């Protein structure tokens, strides 16, 4: 079990974690959520003894991490899967950790097999892809068969099969009675994996509840399909409901139950083709809950991509003066640059060369000042992912 008791962390005047109190129970998967800068990583670092709290306590089975004699046997952690010596093989990396924590060497091969890395156990980690490094980090977390797991973004870099695999793995570990604390920004995956969620915003606790309770809290709209939407909407509004027409023509009704909507429609002899309550997804509930806690939000993109650049009318240019027969027409100049004056008619013709001698070629002087180099002439080739 994990306990956070009035946990507070300040960096100067900045409060990263603000009086956080909550409990992570064994036997379930608990999601640890929040916008960037909410204090999740700071809380995990304090929990794992990598940072000291300003006030309060973070306890694992009633003890601070620093007081645990053999931490890999008590807590399995994954914070940064890339923090591995690239020159070691996967097996040697685990053997080194096993020796320093007095874990039997037989556990090394068992951990590698559990995460699907047995066939690459003798390969150097420097050649691993991000997904393979994530699996190796999970092998480290499972090496000591700990009762508590603290995992930060464990699905990062995994393909869809790997994401499903880790979902089943974590739920299986929780079913064995372990405490599993999991952070992720993938709300759809968290909804499939977690039983309970702890949500932070600006360092404070916003929610500590089950996924079902949270989504039900932000549900409530009833979707109604009818061929006479405008008439039914007017009836429902008069009854005190809030009605919004969806892009597909359905009515989203708040403030009335399904049965009340059916009774009102029947009284007015308005046909109904469907009535169903819309449940909010975890992502919808999370976004509404944390709307006031987002510190680094970006501009809302326009539908269909970025706005087109306004067309710029070409500058009014005078018609070029007619040239003498046989003389070249000067190239057009860039907008805003001065048009060179035409050559004087009294300009001397070049001295003719002797018969049989080649006319010397003009040496190019490179692009003129202000000329634009074509885009894409020096585009680097995409980096190939190592698998």
Task: For residue range 232-285, list pLDDT tens digits in order.
Answer: 999 999 999 989 898 889 998 988 889 999 999 999 999 999 998 888 899 989
Q: What is the pTM of this model?
A: 0.68
Answer yes or no: are the C-beta atoms of 340 and 330 closer than 8 Å: yes
**Tokens 């204090």 map to which residue?**
39
Ranges of CATH 3.30.70 domains, the chain: 220-277
Nearest partner of 169 among 204, 134, 203, judged by Cα: 134
pLDDT of 204 > 90? The answer is yes
pLDDT at residue number 147? 97
The per-residue b/e assignment along 27-48, b for 16 or more CB within 10 angstroms, e otherwise, is: ebbbbbbbbebbbbbbbbbbbb
CATH assignment, 2-216: 3.40.50.300
Ranges of CATH 3.40.50.300 domains, the chain: 2-216
Three-class DSSP category at 17: strand
**Tokens 């409990």 map to which residue?**
23
Between residues 211 and 330, the one the model is more confident about:
211
φ, ψ of residue 181 in degrees (nearest 5): -110, 125
Q: What share of the chain is helix, strand, coil (3-state, %, to 5)?
A: 30, 20, 50
Task: For residue range 18-41, list pLDDT tens digits in order.
Answer: 999 999 999 999 999 999 989 999
**For range 202-214, the mean pLDDT:** 95
**For range 307-322, the mean pLDDT:** 48
Report the distance separating Cα 203 and Cα 205, nearest Å: 7
Architecture per CATH, domain 220-277, reads as 2-Layer Sandwich (3.30)
Under 8 Å CB-to-CB from 242, ≥6 apart: which residues?
Answer: 253, 254, 255
Nearest partner of 220 among 284, 175, 174, 297, judged by Cα: 284
Task: For residue range 94-147, list pLDDT tens digits in order.
Answer: 999 999 899 999 999 999 999 999 999 999 999 999 999 999 999 999 999 999
- pLDDT confidence band for 179 (50 / 70 / 90): very high
Angle formed at CA 199 by CA 193 and CA 205, multiple of 5 degrees: 150
């Amino acid at each position: 079990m994990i306990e956070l008791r009035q946990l507070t962390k300040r960096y100067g005047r900045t409060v990263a974690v603000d009086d956080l109190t909550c409990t992570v129970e064994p036997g379930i998967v608990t999601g640890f959520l929040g916008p960037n800068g909410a204090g999740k990583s700071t809380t995990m670092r304090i929990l794992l003894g990598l940072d000291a709290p300003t006030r309060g306590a973070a306890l694992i089975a009633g003890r601070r991490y620093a007081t645990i004699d053999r931490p890999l046997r008590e807590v399995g952690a994954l914070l940064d899967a890339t923090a591995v010596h690239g020159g070691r093989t996967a097996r040697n990396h685990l053997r080194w950790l096993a020796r320093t924590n007095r874990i039997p060497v037989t556990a090394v091969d068992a951990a590698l097999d559990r995460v699907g890395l047995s066939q690459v156990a003798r390969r150097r980690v420097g050649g691993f892809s991000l997904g393979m490094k994530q699996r190796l980090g999970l092998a480290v977390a499972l090496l000591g068969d700990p009762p508590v797991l603290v995992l930060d973004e464990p699905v990062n870099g995994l393909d869809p099969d790997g994401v499903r695999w880790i979902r089943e793995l974590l739920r299986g570990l929780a079913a064995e009675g372990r405490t599993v604390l999991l952070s992720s920004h993938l709300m759809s995956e968290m909804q499939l994996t977690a039983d309970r969620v702890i949500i932070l915003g600006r360092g404070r606790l916003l929610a500590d509840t089950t996924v079902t309770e949270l989504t039900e809290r932000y549900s409530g709209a009833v979707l109604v399909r009818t061929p006479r939407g405008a008439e039914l909407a007017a009836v429902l509004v008069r009854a005190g409901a809030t009605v919004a027409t969806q892009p597909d023509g359905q009515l989203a009704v708040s403030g009335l139950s399904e049965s009340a909507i059916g009774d009102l429609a029947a009284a007015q002899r308005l046909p109904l083709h469907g009535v169903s309550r819309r449940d909010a997804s975890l992502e919808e509930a999370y976004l509404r809950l944390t709307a006031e806690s987002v510190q680094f939000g970006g501009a809302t993109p326009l539908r269909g991509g970025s706005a087109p650049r306004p067309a710029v009318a070409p500058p009014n240019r005078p018609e070029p003066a007619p040239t003498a027969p046989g003389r070249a027409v000067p190239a057009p100049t860039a907008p805003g640059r001065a048009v060179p004056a035409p050559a004087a008619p009294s300009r001397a013709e070049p001295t003719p060369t002797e018969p049989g001698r080649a006319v010397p070629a003009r040496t190019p002087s490179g692009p003129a000042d202000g000329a634009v180099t074509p885009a894409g002439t020096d585009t680097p080739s995409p980096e190939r992912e190592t698998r």
